[in-house]
Amino acid sequence: MENAKLFLLIKDIVIQARQRVYRMANSSLLETYWQIGELIVNEEQGGNPKATYGSGTLKTLAEQLTIEFGKGFDESNLRNMRMFYNAFPIRDALRHELSWTHYRLISRMDSDEKRNYYLNESIQSNWNSRELQRQINSLAFERVLTVQQKGEEKATTIQHVLKDPYIFEFLGLKPLNKNSERSIETAIIDHLQQFLLEFGKGFAFVARQQHIVTDTSDFYIDLVFYNYILKCFVIIDLKTGSLTHQDIGQIDMYVRMYDDLKRTNEDNPTIGILLCSEKDETIVKYSVLKDQNQLFASKYLLYLPKEEELKELIEQDRLRFELEMK
């Protein structure tokens, strides 16, 4: 056996062994912290998750545990363990593919619906803890048009996947500069992994500037993806400046062409998304976007706004969406 092949075989064995050790260590850590949280709640709080501690109780416990076991048992982390148990009181339901950092962040969510969303997205979209923190900071849960309900394991409609607005601060483009559609498209391709994480779960890249030929004309579609959960092509048309009726007519045409020329019998109808820097709600309301289940317009931001500004944008979009659904 040649040395290169032998090296690769041994390398694979070592990597798999380390992964098994990590999974075992991670599972053991989660179990340990969960049990400590349970004991704190049951013993110090009488089983009441909302009860308060007596003065200095948790601090004293932290000091004793730190003397005995070293780092990892300070007062702050004991509070995290208590919060972990309160957020996930059924130990058998813990997902061990997530780390303690994931659970520490998710446990801070103020509702089961939010916790379930970030838990499921972390697993299905393979978010590491840094990406999870970014999604929380950018209010990903609030930006999804229709959030998942409790107990729902996967998205079943495009409304469960799309966000409004999208936040593309990772593209590194200056929002005050006059960025062209081509420069934004290029930045997306250069940061494709981060774009897919922001865009939603189930997306795979298909093509950039895909050439579509008809009997009389040639067309180029900015970006094409396939969503393996929804089982459909998703075409994206990038727009800078205000959204126009011409833009909407163009994406409508692209979707019809794609269905006719590219979609197979196994695929669901193609979805078209206008990603625009400015979205005129009056144009959206009085266009085919209002009645089409396959056409959508979402605003994008090239920076991460302040939390209050983002909340205001989300609330406006949420109210409009709920009115449209009625």
Domain ranges of the chain: 3-97, 158-325
| 309 confidence band (pLDDT: 50, 70, 90) | confident
**Confidence (pLDDT) at 151:** 43
> Which value, to the nearest 10 degrees, does the dihedral of the CA atoms of residues 167, 171, 172, 178 take?
-80
| 55 confidence band (pLDDT: 50, 70, 90) | very low
What is the number of residues in the chain?
326
Angle at 226 between CA 147 and CA 95, to 5 degrees: 45
pLDDT in tens, 73-86: 999 999 999 999 99
Residue 104 has pLDDT above 90, yes or no: yes
pLDDT in tens, 136-188: 999 999 888 765 544 444 556 787 888 888 999 999 998 878 889 999 999 99
Give the domain 158-325 fold. Trna Endonuclease; Chain: A, domain 1 (3.40.1350)
Are 298 and 274 spatial neighbours (Cβ–Cβ below 8 Å)?
Answer: yes
**Confidence (pLDDT) at 56:** 65
- Contact partners, residue 170, CB within 8 Å, separation at least 6: 191, 194, 195, 198
pLDDT in tens, 122-135: 998 889 999 999 99
Are 248 and 295 spatial neighbours (Cβ–Cβ below 8 Å)?
Answer: yes
Q: What is the pTM of this model?
A: 0.81
